[in-house]
Amino acid sequence: MKKSALQKARAAYQPKLPIVLTGAVKAVEGNPTESVADQAEIQKLFPNTYGLPELKFEKNSNPIVGSPVNVGVILSGGQAPGGHNVISGLFDGIKKIHKDSRLYGFLMGPGGFVDHQYIELTSNIIDEYRNTGGFDIIGSGRTKLESQDQFDKGLEILKELNIKALVIIGGDDSNTNAAILAEYYKSINAGVQVIGCPKTIDGDLKNGLIETSFGFDTATKVYSEVIGNIQRDCNSAKKYWHFIKLMGRSASHIALECALQTQPNVCIISEEVEAKNLTLQDIVNDIAQIVAKRAENGNNFGTVLIPEGLIEFIPAMKKLIAELNDLLAHNAEEFAAVDQKEQRQYIINHLSEENAAIYASLPEGVARQLSLDRDPHGNVQVSLIETEKLLGEMVGRRLAEMKAEGKYVGKFGTLFHFFGYEGRCADPSNFDADYCYALGFNAACLINAGVTGYMSSVRNLTNPSVQWIAGGIPITMMMNMERRHGAMKPVIQKALVRLDDAPFRKFASKRDEWAVNTCYMYPGPIQYFGPAEVCDQPSMTLRYEQGAK
């Protein structure tokens, strides 16, 4: 296959491993752990894998004397830059344990594991994908691994290929399933270890020991580059307001990071909307005020960043979606039989009065999206809801009212954008290339240490990569009980934006100035070659979280 000049140069990049992983290691046990909440219930559900200690790798003076180990790997859920480096790190790690170790990749996500679709990942294949974006080396999928049947079916192929460990590279839902699988295999003495790796551009799989999920760094740099370009454009032409929706299913980490990088006029943070119990109209009024204020200064242009998950955080919408979820789940057949033109009215007739009124007030497109199929985890597919258009139109209407009241003089031209898929398969930044390679290599060390139900943990990430700390944390440590599909289930707790954490506080201290004045920042494209202060900086979220001022 023909390669671009950058592809060729990038293939030669050697990710920097934490110094501790460059030689033989020993796993040092820390204190036993507890789940973040609901300890008694989680312990009961995970009798074999609950309460395990944190692990930290330290240098070992004895060289590694390992035997060959066969390992399986699955990419699960949405793409995130760096997945290929997790796999190449894992490959190099198991080859370091023993040159005859083998790596098998299950195709198109967990589905390939259940259906026995796989390829052996040889060095020729791995070398083609080092430092590249995408998950195309083996593909990804969203099949939910949850039933014993699936686990048993998967075990058949693991036995056939003599696989001793399975590495699941995924987000919170996939790692929840990794924990359940680890517990099950342990309970039946299957002899298979299960190790998770923290992936998601959304940045919501993190805690003190998982400082960030991979892919967040690169994806937000890609979005920030284009937001910066748009800001330069709108500051040049001075005639458009750009409404930009940013991916991130639930948490607003991506929008917040991009705001810190680009200093837009407005950035909505869903978690704040929920905490302040704001309505859609409140949000619209706030944006309209800012547009009017800028118009007073002759600035009929600006940028508004909108997190993809906003709708589900507006308290009134949240209640509506919860009732809709139940309604559609309990009346699925009847609803499917209703003529498409009548479906909106059917829903209005079956909702409580309060929710029916909100549903009826929504534009056709948004209402329709809320009634469509959920994803396999039961989530509304928020990436398909055009919140940016909804807000832009509503702000336009509000400004017309304000004009009639003599409170606004200006022009309001809108343009709409959605940045999400553009960033998920970008070539990983140096940070993600190094971090992912280390996560994969570290997963091999966890396999060699014989543990199961652990997530690969590489931390101290704002320091140079050679100083990163490597180890593992029990996945059960991240879990709590939540209602899913009408029943309480153990799941990894999503890390939402915390309003008392440094990144949000930084943003909140600056946003009034950014709103009225034009303080745009232009981060430019990701740089792979050049000075470390340009090429190797981690996200601003991570830097503020770790004490930057």
Binding segment (CB under 6 A) for ligand FBP, from list 243-251, 257-265, 295-303, 331-339: 243-251
Q: Catalytic pick from 202, 204, 217, 427?
A: 202
Question: CA quadruple 313, 315, 319, 321: dihedral positive or negative?
Answer: negative
Binding segment (CB under 6 A) for ligand FBP, from list 2-10, 244-252, 297-305, 437-445: 244-252
Binding segment (CB under 6 A) for ligand FBP, from list 183-191, 246-254, 281-289, 327-335: 246-254
Q: Which of residues 303-322 bind ligand FBP (CB under 6 A)?
A: 308
Q: How far is the CB of 218 from ligand FBP (least distance, A)?
A: 13
Residues 121, 154 contacting (CB under 8 angstroms): no
- List 15, 78, 133, 141, residue binding ligand FBP (CB under 6 A): 78
Q: Site for ligand FBP (CB under 6 A): how many residues?
A: 15
- List 200, 220, 462, 537, residue binding ligand FBP (CB under 6 A): 200
Cα separation, 379 vs 325, whole angstroms: 9
Tell me the CA distances in angstroms from 151 to 72, 113, 146, 188, one per residue in order: 14, 9, 8, 11
Nearer of residues 108 and 201 to ligand FBP, judged by Cβ: 201
Output the CA torsion 316→321→324→329 (10° steps).
-150
Binding segment (CB under 6 A) for ligand FBP, from list 9-17, 200-208, 445-453, 526-534: 200-208
Q: Which of residues 433-492 bind ligand FBP (CB under 6 A)?
A: none
Closest alpha carbon to 46 in 543, 492, 537, 545: 492
Per the rule left: phi > 0, alpha: psi between -120 and 50, beta: everything else, 38 is left
Nearer of residues 102 and 245 to ligand FBP, judged by Cβ: 245
Q: How far is the CB of 213 from ligand FBP (least distance, A)?
A: 8
Binding segment (CB under 6 A) for ligand FBP, from list 72-80, 234-242, 267-275, 298-306: 72-80
Q: Which of residues 365-384 bind ligand FBP (CB under 6 A)?
A: 382-383
Q: How far is the CB of 113 from ligand FBP (least distance, A)?
A: 16
Nearer of residues 192 and 385 to ligand FBP, judged by Cβ: 385
Binding segment (CB under 6 A) for ligand FBP, from list 64-72, 196-204, 363-371, 525-533: 196-204
Q: Which of residues 320-349 bind ligand FBP (CB under 6 A)?
A: none
Cα separation, 270 vs 311, whole angstroms: 8
Nearer of residues 290 and 436 to ligand FBP, judged by Cβ: 436
Residue 385 within binding range of ligand FBP, rule CB under 6 A: no
Tell me the CA distances in angstroms from 470 to 22, 66, 409, 446, one per residue in order: 11, 19, 58, 10
85 — phi, psi (to 5°)? -75, -30
Q: How far is the CB of 432 from ligand FBP (least distance, A)?
A: 14
**If DSSP codes are grouped into helix, strand and coil, which group holds residue 266?**
strand
Q: How far is the CB of 516 from ligand FBP (least distance, A)?
A: 31
Q: How far is the CB of 43 from ligand FBP (least distance, A)?
A: 27
Cα separation, 276 vs 268, whole angstroms: 12
Residue 258 within binding range of ligand FBP, rule CB under 6 A: no
Residue 248 within binding range of ligand FBP, rule CB under 6 A: yes
Cα separation, 3 vs 429, whole angstroms: 19
Cα separation, 248 vs 401, whole angstroms: 33
Closest alpha carbon to 379 in 416, 421, 328, 331: 328
Cα separation, 412 vs 514, whole angstroms: 19
Nearer of residues 377 and 506 to ligand FBP, judged by Cβ: 377
217 tagged catalytic: no
Nearer of residues 105 and 410 to ligand FBP, judged by Cβ: 105
Nearer of residues 49 and 200 to ligand FBP, judged by Cβ: 200
Tell me the CA distances in angstroms from 403 to 243, 281, 390, one per residue in order: 21, 17, 20
Residue 302 within binding range of ligand FBP, rule CB under 6 A: no
Neighbours of 489 (CB within 10 A): 16
Q: How far is the CB of 172 from ligand FBP (least distance, A)?
A: 7
Question: Packing angle between helix 148-160 and helix 172-187, nearest 10 degrees?
Answer: 70
Q: Which residues contact 366 (CB under 8 A, 6 or more apart)?
A: 311, 385, 386, 387, 390
Q: Which of residues 161-180 bind ligand FBP (CB under 6 A)?
A: 171
Q: How far is the CB of 123 from ligand FBP (least distance, A)?
A: 28
**If DSSP codes are grouped into helix, strand and coil, which group holds residue 499?**
coil
Cα separation, 15 vs 432, whole angstroms: 9
Residues 426, 225 contacting (CB under 8 angstroms): no
Q: How far is the CB of 291 from ligand FBP (least distance, A)?
A: 28
Residue 77 within binding range of ligand FBP, rule CB under 6 A: yes
Active site residues: 202
Residues that bind ligand FBP (CB under 6 A): 77-78, 80, 142, 171, 200-202, 247-249, 308, 382-383, 424
